Structure formats: structure tokens, C-alpha cells
Amino acid sequence: MPHTFLFEEGSWKVEGEHRDAAGALSPVAGENAIRHEPGVWHFEAALRLRGDPLRVTHNRYQIEPFSPGAASTHWSSNNPVLGALRGRFVIVGDSILSSYASPTLRYRGFECIQQRDPRRYSVRGTMLEEDKLISTWALELTRI
């Protein structure tokens, strides 16, 4: 089954949970949007972590389009809290793996984006600051 997330323009509803380093759980809701332009794909994510206080995060990624037949590509982002991040998407069967780091390697992490069907993906990921766990997340993406 060909991948639809990233590879096709569209919007995705996001639902799931986020845990901080202490294990505190926050429900998550949000939206992702993928837009293609010649030479660059745009991935915009807006997530709301419910709790007191409500926290909203916005991330904008620029992705080098996958070359025909390629199994990986690079992406970059400028996170409002963490600064610049650079990463790589790698296709492995039903999953899109992502690893990333800040230029100083202070922040790094990884995600597994597993396709359930053409309209649904499950995302599992974590972020570290040096060797300390910052957060983990378990999200479900549903195409709108």
C-alpha cells in the first residue's frame, strides 16, 4: 500500500497523548497539513496539549521531495522553543521513520509513523535533551 501521509497534499486530524519527563499525561488534539510546491514540501503541525495551562505548539517543516525510487529524504524545521532542527525521513515498509537533532546535538529524537490504512497513521515518538528524556507522544492521524 503506497504511503499517503507526506506524499499527498491534504489535512490530517491529530488525537492522542503527550507525556512529559515526569510522566504527566496531557491529551493532544490538533491538525497537520501537507502542501507540495516544486522543489519543497511543506508540513505544518498545530497541536494543543490540554491541561492547565493549555499549551499550543506550532511546527513548520520543509521537506526535500523524495526522489523517484528513493527510500529517504531530508527535512528541516525551526521550532519556536527548540530552534533549528534537521532530520531525515526513511521509508521502511508500512512506516515512515524520522530521526532529528538540533545543530548542537543538544536536542534529538525520533518518530515512527505507521500506516494503518490510506487514511490513518499511528505516530510514536520521543524527544531528548542531551541524555535526558523531555517527552514522549502517542498520536493517531486521520485524513480529513
How is residue 121 written as a grid cell?
497513521
Is the pLDDT score of 52 beyond 80?
no
- The rounded distance, in Å, linking the Cα atoms of 122 and 112 is 8
- Per-residue confidence (pLDDT) for residue 81, from 0 to 100: 81
Letter for the amino acid at 5?
A: F
- Span 103-108, average pLDDT: 95
User: How far is 127 from 133, CA to CA, in rounded Å?
Assistant: 6
Checking if the pLDDT of 35 tops 90, the result is yes
